[in-house]
């Protein structure tokens, strides 16, 4: 049992990788373990991500956990003083202010667990994830399996010709590919 003088030690953990790599699954697993340990948690997701649910973070395998949709990262700073763990899904959809929000929360003694794509459909670093990786105490890169050759997949190849940076979709719009298969699909070879 912790004494009343016990101070929470904040940190930032980043779970990143391609689509279908298990990022959200790992986020949910860590948050459930924190809840099992009787820690007070708050879970956020960008309000634009309503693919499976408006009010829940949902993995591709249909595991889910209640969340709070927010339109901007600064809304996460409104949590109560009793919150010990903050989870953030689809972090690539927030702007760079997410980095400062996560650092502020960690400085307050909150464990911040962030999940998101590290690269976009063109293989370019995506949103605030690279900066979060730089300031995080822990980074876990997870991988999908390449649907073409079976190797570890690091890229989210878009099947659609839509050039929008943000295009919500599932297996009908994206497929995980290894570097070699991604370069072939992108016409780089």
- Is 162 inside a domain boundary? no
Residue 188 located in a structural domain: no
Residue-by-residue DSSP string for 127-174: TTHHHHHHH-SEEEEE-EE-TTTSSEE-EEEE-S----S-----TTTE
**Structural domain includes residue 174:** no
Tokens of 89: 């899904």
Count of domains observed in the chain: 1
Residue 66: domain span = 11-142
Q: Residue 53 is part of a domain; what is its CATH number?
A: 3.40.50.300
The whole model's pTM is what? 0.87
Residues serving a catalytic function are 90
User: What are the per-10-residue average pLDDT scores of the chain (189 residues)?
Assistant: 52 96 93 95 85 56 73 94 95 95 98 96 94 98 97 92 64 88 87
Q: In the numeric block, which tokens belong to residue 78?
A: 């409104």
- 179 in a domain, yes or no? no
pLDDT digit string, tens, across residues 140-185: 999 999 999 999 999 999 887 766 666 655 666 889 999 999 999 9
């Amino acid at each position: 049992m912790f004494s009343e003088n016990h101070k929470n030690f904040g940190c930032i953990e980043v779970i990143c990788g391609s689509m279908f790599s298990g990022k959200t699954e790992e986020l949910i697993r860590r948050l459930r373990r924190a809840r099992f340990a009787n820690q007070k948690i708050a879970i956020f997701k960008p309000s634009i991500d309503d693919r499976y649910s408006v009010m829940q973070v949902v993995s591709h395998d249909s595991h889910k956990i209640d969340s709070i949709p927010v339109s901007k990262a600064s809304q996460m700073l409104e949590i109560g003083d009793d919150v010990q763990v903050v989870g953030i899904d689809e972090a690539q959809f927030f702007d760079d202010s997410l980095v400062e929000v996560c650092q502020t929360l960690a400085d307050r003694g909150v464990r911040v667990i962030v999940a998101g794509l590290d690269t976009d459909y063109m293989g370019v670093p995506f949103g605030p994830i690279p900066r979060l990786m730089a300031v995080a105490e822990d980074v876990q890169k997870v991988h999908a399996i390449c649907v073409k050759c079976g190797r570890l997949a690091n890229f989210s190849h878009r099947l659609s010709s839509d050039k929008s940076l943000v295009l919500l979709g599932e297996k009908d719009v994206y497929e995980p590919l290894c570097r070699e298969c991604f370069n072939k699909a992108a016409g780089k070879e």
